[in-house]
Structure formats: structure tokens, C-alpha cells
Structure 1
Amino acid sequence: MRRRSGESAVRIVRYRPPATEGALALRPVTVPVRGPGLRVVRPGDGMGAEVRAVADAAVRLIVEVLAGTRPVHQLSLVAVPAVCREVASHGSTGVRGNRVVPPKVLSSRVQRPSPAVAEAVAVVVVAGRVHALALRLAHTRGRWRCTALETTAP
């Protein structure tokens, strides 16, 4: 999730199912083996209770803003201004028919590629549909802030 200068802090990813051209997609896929690198933060391992709490709060806030159930200015507690602006421009109403569908976080994971950077991924429900959410947190000036976001949510 590296950004180039002038590139938006939020990227909306459109899901496209893989084309199988009438054949079953059962052929095994070879996955390159990586050496030791990133690891998943487990609750209680002492590596980042603070990071986990901030990541959970950021995911929850972002999903609620995207669903339209929370004002975007509250996102500034855990995100940089560029992310707040982009999420505000992509936020949906969260309304389905005449009722508001509350967003829900189904699962989330956090990993730390370096001591000052954490990455979180989550499976969320926005407006009754399941979406993916990925965000990068950076530790600057004594606090964790969301600096980049990728999502399949509208």
C-alpha cells in the first residue's frame, strides 16, 4: 500500500470474479514461499495491545462513516486528514429501503512489518453486503494514525 506523490490516500477496489472460461478453477496454484517477515499479532502476546486497540477503533470508525451512521469528522481521531477527506467523498448512505442497515465488523487481523508501522485487514458488512478493508497505521508524534486505506466498499 505504498503511495506515490499526488496519489490518493484511499483506494476503492472493484471486485471482479476470476474468468474461468467455462472450466472449473480446480488447477492448483503455486504460491511463492517467503522467508520470515510479517507476523500476525495475537491477543496477549505483548507486541501491541495499543496497536490492536487503535486498529479495531479505526476499522469500526471507517466502516461506520462509509455506512453513513457516523459523521466523518470523528474519523480524525484515528486518521490523517487525507484519509478523512477521501472517506468523506466515498461514504454511502447505509440506507436500504426505508431502514438503516448498521455496519458490522466480521473479523480483523493486525500485523506489524516494522515497529512504527502496522497493517490491519478486516471483513466488514456495509449496507447489507460483505466487503474487504485494508489500512495502514503509522506511529508518529506518539500516536497511531491511519495513513492509507483500501476497500471494496462503495
Structure 2
Amino acid sequence: MPVTRGALALRPAAAPARGPALRLVRPGDGVDAEVRAVAGAAVRLVVEVLAGTRPAHQLSLVAVPAVCRVMAARHGPGAHGRRVVPPKVLSTRLQRPSAAVAETVAVVVVAGRVHALALRLEHMRGRWRCTALETTAP
């Protein structure tokens, strides 16, 4: 038996099983880049519809029909001769509660007033689509 001289003498155990290695994920990597791009486009489209600078039917590029119908009912055709202040997106945040779901929130300025947006995006049939929308804008 070897002499330990003050060190704890334990037989080395087998190396612990390791799960997948952790990696640094940078903005713009893989799927997150795709969902961030769709979320950004959806936020811009919604803000432009709210401001009256874009017709609501163009939301069909990123939203399911139910969301498009609600927005069209609330925000009909454009400004019709009145001066429109361009909308502005101040900040956005994105989270992924699951692999096929992303939720984004944004702080925006529409008609000179600050509002909040919340969008739920779901991956269906190979595309990210806005399936729910909430806003503080009128």
C-alpha cells in the first residue's frame, strides 16, 4: 500500500459522464438568426400598420390569418391625407420557451407615443409565423 503523506488516499473513480459540451451562442448563429430576423420583420410590420404607413393585409407575410384579420379590423387603410409620423422601434427582446416557439417584446413609438408590443412566433410548416399579438397601442 502506498504512503500518502497527508494527501487523501482514494482510488480515483471513473470520470463522470458528461453531457453535451456547452458552447457560446452568438447573436446571428443558426436558428436563432432566422427567428430573430422574422421577429424583427414582424415587429416592424406591426408598427407600420399601427402607424398607418402600411396596409394590414401585408402582415400576411409573417402572421397567421387570425392575427391579420384582427389587425385589419382595428387598423384599416392608411392615413388618407393626414401627416403620419414615422414609427420607431426603440428596443426588442427575444426568448425561446421551446424549440418551436419564440416570444418577442418591443418598445415602440407610434404617433409620438410610446407603446409595448408582444408577439408569439411559432414554427409551423417550415416557417416562423406570428400566432398572437398584444399591444398597448389603440
**1:54-93 residue pairs with structure 2 within 5 A?**
54-91=38-75
State the secondary structure of the residue aligned to 1:100: coil
TM-score normalized by the length of structure 1? 0.67
Identity of aligned residues (%): 82
1:128 aligns with 2:112: yes
Report the structure number with the largest CA radius of gyration.
2
Deviations 1:89-145 (A, max 9, x none): 2227886x9421111111101110000000000000111100000000000000000
Asked whether the equivalents of residues 94 and 101 of structure 1 are also in contact (C-alpha less than 8 Å), the reply is: no
> Which position in structure 2 is the counterpart of 1:150?
134
**Structure with higher RCO (Cα < 8 A, 6+ apart):** 1
Deviations 1:19-54 (A, max 9, x none): xxxxxxxxxxxxxxxxxxxxxx96235451000000
Give the letter for the 2:132 counterpart. A
Q: How many residues align?
A: 113
**1:3-152 residue pairs with structure 2 within 5 A?**
43-91=27-75, 98-152=82-136
TM-score normalized by the length of structure 2? 0.75
Asked whether the equivalents of residues 101 and 121 of structure 2 are also in contact (C-alpha less than 8 Å), the reply is: yes
Structure 2 portions without partners, runs of 5+: 1-24
> Which position in structure 2 is the counterpart of 1:32?
none
Deviations 1:47-93 (A, max 9, x none): 51000000000000011011110011110010000000111122278
Cα root mean square deviation, aligned: 2.1
Question: Which has the larger helix fraction?
Answer: 2
